Amino acid sequence: MGGSPKNSLVFAYYVTGHGFGHATRAVEVVRNLIQSRHHVHVVSGAPEYVFTTAIQSPRLFIRKVLLDSGAVQADALTVDRLASLEKYIETAVVPRASILATEVEWLKSIKADLVVSDVVPVACRAAADAGIHSVCVTNFSWDFIYAEYVMAAGYTNRPIIWQIAEDYSRCEFLIRLPGYCPMPAFRDVVDVPLVVRRLHKSRAEVRKELGIGDDKKVLLYNFGGQLSGWNLKEDYLPSGWICLVCGASEDQELPGNFFKLPKDVYTPDVVAASDCMLGKIGYGTVSEALAYGVPFIFVRRDYFNEEPFLRHMLEHFQCGVEMIRRDLLTGHWAPYLERAITLKPCYNGGINGAEVAANILQDTASGKSHASCKPSGSRRLRDAIVLGYQLQRVPGKDVAIPEWYAVAQNELSFRSASPNDKSSPAISCTKEIEDFEILHGDHHGLSDTISFLKGLAELRALADPVNHNTHQSRESLAAAALFNWEDEIFVARAPGRLDVMGGIADYSGSLVLQMPIREACHVAIQRNHPSKQKLWKHAQARQQKEAPTPVIQIVSLGSELGNRGPTFDMDLSGLIDSGKPISYEKARKYFSQDPSQKWAAYVAGTILVLMTELGVRFEDSISILVSSGVPEGKGVSSSAAVEVASMSAVAAAHGLSIAPRDLALLCQKVENHVVGAPCGVMDQMASACGEANKLLAMVCQPAEVLGLVEIPPHIRFWGIDSGIRHSVGGADYGSVRVGAFMGRKIVKSTASAQISCLLQNNSSQQVNGNTSDEREKDGNNLLETEACLDYLCNLSPHRYEASYVDKLPEYLQGQEFLNKYVNHEDSVTVIDKKHTYAVRAPTRHPIYENFRVKQC
């Protein structure tokens, strides 16, 4: 560290309570400050030994206080979003006033010259209240991380995000670490190199101490000490490999080729002594893998938004291999290990970020102004847009990163390869387009179809090793290796749709008017005998050499713009149990076990539905490429477009003739039963049966097409993005549907009760010699119809207001409804006994919406 000032400075260094990664990187900065004879007071909920083991100095003071809670993890790979917010509210929101008072008093008592935060929000506010400057040191901020969790918990939790961002805005500037996320709350930024823990021993020394010979390959198993329920087996490792396990409990038994590391082992030394590492992505593991050139096999972590940015950095420097969670848990490790040791990590940036950061902090505490790279207005605006985008996201879907932000370009000094990149092979696609035979429809006027076919030609060229580019995305490389390019490939297109009238009332039987939009999903599919299919290496590892089995392989282009896995594969036999298709419930659980691959249910689910509903037998392997231009979460049927395009392509490749209406109904089963989203059939019908420049008129009982309505040439329809995210798989959509079906059940029950009452009265009248008139009979017939009401939309507004509105509660708890009515007669939703549902409004809306559409 550079020359220190004459007088010793006092630093208050706040470290977040989220894991050990922040504490271990803070140690390096603190060590540099103490070497310059400064005093550092560390405030953290992390164990004291994390700091005192690395730094033995009377100038280090530890104050164990938890001022934030980070992310609560259900296990090593799963963040509990709701529990994380609840813990943060309990830890930092409820006691906020007392925390601020305590911290202000303490900061004044130690006469702090500077407050440093990694990355505790309230520390910045406390510093400001105490009249002390503050600086943050981090690669992410909690407002960005928690934005995802707020979407799961509900909009009422948004003030948490605004409060965190406001706290951060009180600091002087941000010392930003590589692999950073959008952080618009910070007004000023200084970029530094990687902060990495230094090595204490050489690779040879570590191996000698552990008794590992040079003939052994070493895998470091590093999941942060959360191994509960994970069984490790000897055959997970290829011959000649051993595995060093971090964080194993004392009573955990390990196979003979797995070895426990001591709890106090110095991890960076072991990382550098290993041939590769297997774990979850975090700043500490990524920085050490890059710094010491160790290939990192990583498994995606759910709902932690820091990950995509670090993953891009890993993969750019050829240091990362993604392992599918299923293969981690079932022991198919060999292909990933083989791939990892062929990598040539090429990170050549600085690793002295701790020293650089300490110098900046020293200068700032001394009153010197430090030159910074203040973000341009456009960059701060883009950061703010990303954070705003987070807050409008679809519940249940992973973080999506706009393309212009997909790679943190400025700290990596590179750009992703683009279609116009001169390094990409120049391809003439005219011939490739002409090679496709049109089986149905045409591509005239469909520029997206032309582009997709050109894209296939580019992938074909990329399949040639001569054209490989180290900066090609992983999904492009996987897609290039997907097909036998000399064999037959089928392509299908299905559009999204604009809901003109009828909308959310479709599952209640409304008349709707739907218009296909120009944005569409394209699916390319190829079937091959199992012996001829090109398989990814991890899929090959599951195959028996004597008798290869059919495999489904899927690539989703554009998935890396979100935190979804770009590839999915499974043995076709996984959809069969005892010679029959597996149940929809079992399939839904299968596809849900890894959230990063849950998207595959929309595609592979079409195969299961065809097997179940039509008895189709699939004996060949199936390779599928999906590319959708339909915006997600905008209410324009992105999921239906994927389902219809996928099933159309599967049907074409297997010679199946399915009428558009039937295909739509089958696709609805995919979404209802395999995906588990309680949508009506309107979306699939519009995608399968609609025509350009026409409105599809249909009555959703269940799917009766009335005809196509020509749109006059002087009329145009425009869809404007409201910014409110929409998902038929979201909690709000499901709750509204449950409320509507509750209302229908109450209407039916009320009508039945009135019939019983009338029958009793009629019996009394007959005894007295009186008979009912025709009007009474009509009333009885009407009640009988309403007692058997199939769809709410068959109830007129007049009858609703006259007979039922007063019987419908505004809200009703699930348990109370079940106690009185037993069930709500909806096969695709389940009532949560503890949830309180709106009933009257969801019941009223489809009745009046259907009436409105009919009047137009």
Q: What domain range includes position 765? A: 731-855
CATH number of domain containing 210: 3.40.50.2000
Query: Same domain, yes or no, for 294 and 359?
Result: no
In this predicted model, what pLDDT tens digit does every residue of 251-306 receive, in sequence order? Answer: 888 999 999 999 888 999 999 999 999 999 999 999 999 999 999 999 988 778 88
108 neighbors 100 (Cβ within 8 angstroms): no
Distance from C-alpha of 534 to C-alpha of 75, rounded to nearest angstrom: 35
Do residues 99 and 157 share a domain?
Answer: yes
Q: Can you give the pLDDT at residue 418? A: 35
Tell me, what's the pLDDT at 197? 94
Q: What is the 3-state secondary structure (H, E, C) of 346-387?
A: CCCCCCEHHHHHHHHHHHHHCCCCCCCCCCCHHHHHHHHHHH
pTM, entire model: 0.78
Domain assignment present for 777: yes
The Cα–Cα gap between 20 and 331 comes to 27
* Predicted pLDDT at 231: 86
Whether residue 23 contacts residue 15, with contact meaning beta carbons closer than 8 Å, is answered with yes
Last residue of a domain, one of 369, 384, 410: 410
Count how many Cα atoms sit within 13 Å of the Cα of residue 80 in the half-sphere of its side chain: 11
Statement to judge: residues 624 and 755 lie in one domain: no
The closest alpha carbon to 218, from 248, 246, 240, belongs to 240
Rounded to the nearest angstrom, the gap between the alpha carbon of residue 235 and the centroid of all alpha carbons in its chain is 32
pLDDT score at 194: 96
| Residues 524, 664 share a domain | yes
Phi, psi (degrees; rounded to nearest 5) at 282: -155, 165
The pLDDT of residue 247: 83
What pLDDT, on a 0 to 100 scale, did the predictor assign at position 463? Answer: 86
Residues 207, 292 within the same domain:
yes
Predicted pLDDT of residue 718 = 87
Residues 131, 239 within the same domain: no
Q: Are residues 479 and 607 in the same domain?
A: yes
Task: Identify the pLDDT of residue 424.
Answer: 43
Catalytic residue annotation:
683
Question: Which of 365, 393, 410 delimits the end of a domain?
Answer: 410
Q: What pLDDT is attached to residue 7?
A: 79
Q: Please state whether the peptide bond connecting residue 192 to the residue before it is cis, i.e. omega within 30 degrees of 0.
A: no
Q: Indicate whether 329 and 360 sit together in one domain.
A: no
Residues 633, 553 share a domain: yes
**Rounded CA separation 254/242 (Å):** 12
**E strand or H helix that includes residue 259:** strand 258-260
Enumerate the β-bridge partners of residue 183: none
| Residue numbers of the chain with a pLDDT score lower than 50 | 3-6, 392-429
Q: Indicate whether 718 belongs to any domain.
A: no
- Our count of domains for the chain comes to 4
Final residue of a structural domain among 410, 430, 445: 410
Q: Is residue 259 located within the same domain as residue 333?
A: yes
Decide if 458 is inside a domain: no
Would you give the end-to-end CA distance of the chain in angstroms? 76
- Give a yes or no: residue 809 inside a domain: yes
Identify whether residues 701 and 757 lie together within a single domain. no
Helical H runs in 169-236?
203-210
C-alpha 856/C-alpha 504 separation (Å) is 18
Domain contains 172: yes
Same domain, 692 and 776: no
* Residue 389 within a domain: yes
In a domain, 735, yes or no: yes
In a domain, 417, yes or no: no
| Residue 537 · residue 339 · CB < 8 Å | yes
